[in-house]
Amino acid sequence: MNDANDSPESAENWKITVFGPRKQIEAALIAHEDAFDWDFEIVLSGCEVAKDKPEEWVLEAYLPRKPRKADKNAVIALFADATPELIIERLPDIDWITASQEGLEPIVAGRFCVHTPDHAPVPGLIPFEIPASRAFGTGHHETTAGCLTMLGHMKDQGVIARNVADIGTGTGLLAFAALELWPRAYATASDIDAACVGVVEHNCAVNGFPMGARAGEVTMVVADGMDDPVLQARGPYDLLIANILAGPLISLAPDFAKSLVPGGHLLLAGLLETQEAQVRAACRRAGMRLAARMVSGDWSILWLRKRSYARVHASQVGALAEWSKKW
């Protein structure tokens, strides 16, 4: 265990880093989702060390304080069959989340282009300007880009959305994409983090989306899952989008089903491909069936439908299956 700085506890940001094989880090991320007593001031992320080293991964835990013994033990506990080496360092006095996203190149996801103010959009695509911020959802993560691609495919398959909710919206990006595809829809964006309100307000102004409660406008609420009076009052929904984590997706599956109209659509992301079977099983128990899926990096993006009395035509099922095979 390597402590890079033994100075007194500080209000600045600190990071715990663990390097390991992909399966070990993925297992730690899954264990984190199942840890109901996790301190949510500790923000966890994991990814490959480099694109050309897909089996070498790193887990990073960010804290607003110097790690205490309990913090270190919580990270160690994520590794059931090993005692990892913790690399602990104090970070510069900057907004590390924003800094990590500065200078990002524009990304293309289906018919959409997402770019920061430092770059011009890609011609011929629907552009979104999303500045670097503390909120998740700049489009550069495989899950967000995958959702954008899947939304475009849903539109191509004839999906009509009149009432949309983006759960765990972060920057508001996926709600914006839904309004671009279905401009007269009612759109509700929610997040558990109150800091996202200002982020969404800013991004609405930059991208020309009015905020409000009418069709074509974005309503922003702070909510934990679907347990919110505004979310419940504005339902039921034709389309729910949730790009969060596998654990919450599993626990929220019954609430998602209750909040959808019969035949309504559910777009899920934030789950590793290794977690897909669990998420799909939870959705199946709640009365939803898979319409299409794609894999973006190590992440699965799922389009599900709530059961309705009307059957989907066999030709449409075949078309969806063929599209899914491409991914």
pLDDT of residue 5: 39
pLDDT digits (tens, 9 = 90+) for 262-278: 999 999 998 889 899 99
Confirm or deny that 243 is annotated as ligand binding.
yes
Q: What is the pLDDT of residues 199-225, one digit of tens each?
A: 899 999 999 999 999 999 999 999 988
Residue 17 is predicted with a pLDDT of 95
pTM comes to: 0.69
pLDDT bin (cut points 50, 70, 90) of residue 9 is very low
Secondary structure of residue 297 in the 3-state scheme: coil
Pick the more confident residue, 223 or 131: 223
Residue 248 contacts residue 225 (beta carbons within 8 Å): yes
**Token duo for residue 71:** 């913090």
Mean of pLDDT values over 138-144: 64
3-state secondary structure (DSSP) of residue 106: coil
Residue 251: Cβ-neighbour burial (10 angstroms; 0-12, 13-18, 19+): exposed
Question: What does 200-239 look like in DSSP terms, one character per residue?
Answer: HHHHHHHHTPPBSSSTTSEEEEE-STT--HHHHHH--EEE
Tens digit of each residue's pLDDT (9 = 90 or more) over 61-93: 888 899 999 999 999 999 987 889 999 999 876
CB-based contacts of 291: which residues, under 8 Å, 6+ apart?
A: 265, 303, 304, 305, 320
Is residue 168 marked as binding? yes
| 2 belongs to an annotated ligand binding site | no
Around Cβ 281, how many Cβ atoms within 10 Å?
12
Across all residues in the chain, what is the average pLDDT? 84
Average pLDDT over residues 179-193: 94
144 is in an annotated binding site: yes
List pLDDT tens digits, range 120-130. Answer: 777 889 989 88
What is the reported pLDDT for 206? 92
